[in-house]
């Protein structure tokens, strides 16, 4: 009996699926091994800024929102925020999981410094004289009314 093109295609699919599943499992295993190795090596890195930088890169490579994206997203609320307030907002709005970071504040400070150097944020002072940061609006892209965050 001659098989139809659909039947022949369906006969091939389980083999192709098995091959793709094997590649997927091997890739998932490699991703897990590399992720664990990077986290372990980062934890023993003596330079805190370098450690946080590698953890941030790891999150970005794994498709998780990085510090810059998390900071940017909460700063779009339209106010001047201190680094402590930024961390609180990121946690409140669940923009990033800090559990893998020994000192997320160091990463937030590093991210803000880089964003300042690139002209994306400007440094200000709040009413207490503390450093605060404001996202610089790009023409045609407003950020809405300011949101008051209690200290």
For the chain, domains (ranges, CATH) are 64-146 (1.10.10.10)
- 108-137 in b/e burial notation, b at 16+ Cβ within 10 A? bbbbbeebeeeebbeeeeeeeeeebbbbee
Local confidence band at 144 (pLDDT 50, 70, 90 cut-offs):
very low
Average pLDDT over residues 32-43: 87
- pTM, rounded to two decimals: 0.57
How crowded is residue 49: how many other Cβ atoms within 10 Å of its Cβ? 14
What is the rounded distance in angstroms from the CA atom of residue 41 to the CA atom of residue 99?
16
Tokens representing residue 38 in the block: 């990077």
Model pLDDT for residues 83-122, shown as the tens digit of each residue: 999 999 999 998 888 877 778 898 899 889 989 998 999 9
pLDDT of the residue at 140: 45
Estimate to the nearest angstrom the gap between the alpha carbon of 50 and the chain centroid.
16
Model pLDDT for residues 47-83, shown as the tens digit of each residue: 877 887 787 778 778 766 677 888 999 999 888 999 9
């Amino acid at each position: 009996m001659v098989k139809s093109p659909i039947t022949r295609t369906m006969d091939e699919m389980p083999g192709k699926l098995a091959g793709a599943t094997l590649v997927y499992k091997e890739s998932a295993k490699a991703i897990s091994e590399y992720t664990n190795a990077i986290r372990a090596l980062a934890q023993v890195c003596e330079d805190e800024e370098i450690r946080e930088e590698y953890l941030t890169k790891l999150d970005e490579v794994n498709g998780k929102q990085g510090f810059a994206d998390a900071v940017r997203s909460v700063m779009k609320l339209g106010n001047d925020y201190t680094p402590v307030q930024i961390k609180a907002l990121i946690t409140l709005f669940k923009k990033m999981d800090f559990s893998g970071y020994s000192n997320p504040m160091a990463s937030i400070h590093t991210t803000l410094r880089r964003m300042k150097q690139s002209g994306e944020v400007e440094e200000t002072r709040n009413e207490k004289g503390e450093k605060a940061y404001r996202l610089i609006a790009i023409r045609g892209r407003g950020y809405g009314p300011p949101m008051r965050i209690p200290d």
